[in-house]
A and B are shown apart, each in its own frame.
Chain A
């Protein structure tokens, strides 16, 4: 198990480095640099931009240095949790992220909680009578939710509940209190809820059809015990699903924050990409990648603990090599 854990941790570290190098390369290779874009910030204006000012901007943020040197410098500083200054406003990236993170964390955690709170019972209920009315209806609703872009879903909810019915505030702030967060959380939760409900339904239905479940029923086990057993048997796939949910929710929150004008890390990342604000993009990518990789690692470890066969399979030598 230790070997398995170490191997997974090393693989996670390599993934992080790979993600960073890839993002650095992509943003650097994309047309347009931060200086020219800052000058263009007022749109397509017929105003000449001073070449000296552009050079000063590039020098200030080290954009005039070789790409490899910039990447190594950034990585070295990042190891000491110094992510540099934003090319957009000159503020420390850490401070910008610290301001945005609480909103994103609160939004994501609340959405995940709500998705599980509704999705798991819904999936279980649908699994108890596969093909029944509830299964069909929930399947249709989940498919519709899953295929609706988060941005569109959020906009629809906002227009109906805030613009038309006026039961929720348009903006979330100190004036509106928690009620302002209802729609963003629900929007983000709905897409994940569909995934959770369908996944749980499939796993539980399979577990209920298992000979062990039939044997339990023959022994006189009631429905609650039956469901508990089915859920226990599905815990390894559930852990994998949890890891898969994290990136979906993180990426969904970028759109939700934009629709609901929430100053979160998602909006910050989108803005940074468009402005070619590399230090902010890299820091947020690192953060996001750490969360996703950690969730994946946690899922692997939980799965391994629940089902040791996965560890044995992983530790087995490649075919063709004698033990």
Chain B
């Protein structure tokens, strides 16, 4: 009966040409998947984070330069011994029901997050060493730790759960997970599963009210239909492929196309690389690993596959990171020098054209997760180049889940992937010898005691310039060792409707910094609502 009523309403609305709110006060955005939860401490996917960025402020937010700035908290400060963090909340921070955001919410959130029964997969590790949280007064909370961690301030880029709303019941299956209580500029208006999720302005929000009255997120898993929708105005923004960017550029060059979406390009904290399992004999010698890098024409990849919108990667930090060391020259594309390195390493061409060192053939299988055409093309180009140099590389495409599982388990010989970093990534997670699988993400099984020691020092270094110097040293050492082949840093390409203004970018993307999409305007909403 309900379905029939819905159908009747649909036909009626269609017939009357009713489209609800004026189009100018609505922003229509794309989600590439359905959010599984809107519980901010359980959220992991991009879709969930993108929606929550408009619904929940964090205690501290990243600004567009990725500095941590006050959010729900007006101040977050450490004790001199860095074992106690004091959080002072804003006086005017409120939940959408009008109740104030209090220290009880901070304590409830941290207690829930750190509860062993809570499956908070990605946030909990940031609070290693947590002892307890306590409310000092209604606006002040104190968090005690038993260990010092220099990167801990980033953990307070933390959204809160309302203690009143989420109390009782299992946090993993709580009904509020699909109906969160907002403290940000928007609140959840409606959620039609698998189809749309509508946010409306939160009248209780303490900050500057956002200009658009509504944000309608639409679940569009495939990129081609989304691109068609961007063209028809059914979507106002989407991430573009290189081919889609080229198409929009071509349209924009045609006269009388004022409505063509514009393209925004920017640097993000990510890079693509070939991973080498350093435990295997073929990859044990860094001369071989350097040769593998020098045989890949990364300039050509950037030019031809990314349309010129990719830089060369030179190490474990991308250029968008504040501590990136620009003085490290990427390994050049130099097949002759690469072959000389392989000869030096004892891998000489045999009768069959493949290099050998005794009984050891320079042969391996490189796996990649299915889904990225460009990665596939890069791998094929590398395969040709390697073959000419006497390296036998087989390509094994894997379903993404299987690929990720094997990579995490350290079972792959070699792999191609893109790596996304957080604003202040802990490089130890990927490069410390204590972080090899199955416990860590050092799937290359990279071991360098000097790097380990520097990474350990970074954990207790609070001075920014000292941190920069240590990170520069780490980058230089990893560059010399080349445990993986750092390929390219592709620029992110985004299509944005011409009617949207004040669209700003950050190395953390378009949405996960403050104000992000909350600061967008449409042609009809030029100023903030006070």
Contacts and interface: CB of A to CB of B under 8 A. Distances in A.
B156 to A, nearest CB: 16
Contacts of B427: 46
B395 interface: no
A177 B229 contact: no
B164 interface: no
B173 A53 contact: no
A54 B121 contact: yes
Interface stretch (A189-197, A210-218, A255-263, A285-293): A255-263
Given A32-B401, A174-B9, A42 B420 contact: yes
Interface residues of A, number: 67
B219 interface: yes
Contacts of A174: 6, 9-10, 13
Interface in A142-195: 155, 158-159, 162-163, 166, 169-171, 173-179
Contacts of B219: 261, 263
A276 interface: yes
Given A48-B125, A57-B121, A261-B222, A171 B404 contact: no
Interface string B18-30: 1110000000000
B469 interface: no
A76 interface: no
Contacts of A53: 118-121, 124-125
Interface stretch (A83-91, A113-121, A300-308): A83-91
A56 B122 contact: no
Interface in B128-184: 172-173, 177-178
A101 to B, nearest CB: 10
B422 A177 contact: no
Nearest to B440: A48
Interface stretch (B193-201, B249-257, B352-360): B193-201
B124 A163 contact: no
B392 interface: no
Interface in A264-311: 264, 267-268, 271, 274-276
Given A45-B420, A47-B429, A90-B177, A170 B228 contact: yes
B contact patch SS: mixed
A98 to B, nearest CB: 10
A77 to B, nearest CB: 16
A43 interface: yes
Contacts of B429: 46-48
B405 A178 contact: no
Nearest to B7: A178
Interface string A77-121: 000000001001111000010011010000000000000000000
A274 to B, nearest CB: 6
Given A31-B401, A47-B429, A42 B225 contact: no
A39 interface: yes
B281 interface: no
Interface stretch (B44-52, B83-91, B456-464, B487-495): B44-52
Contacts of A32: 401-402, 404-405
A55 B119 CA distance: 8
A44 B122 contact: no
Contact of A38 (B121, B124, B225): B121
29 contacts: A32-B404, A44-B417, A44-B419, A45-B122, A45-B421, A46-B422, A46-B429, A48-B426, A49-B122, A50-B121, A54-B119, A54-B121, A60-B119, A60-B172, A89-B36, A89-B177, A90-B172, A90-B177, A158-B225, A158-B228, A166-B232, A176-B10, A177-B10, A177-B13, A178-B14, A258-B221, A259-B225, A264-B194, A268-B194
- State the 4 A-B residue pairs at the shortest beta-carbon distance, nearest first: A263-B194, A177-B14, A32-B405, A163-B228
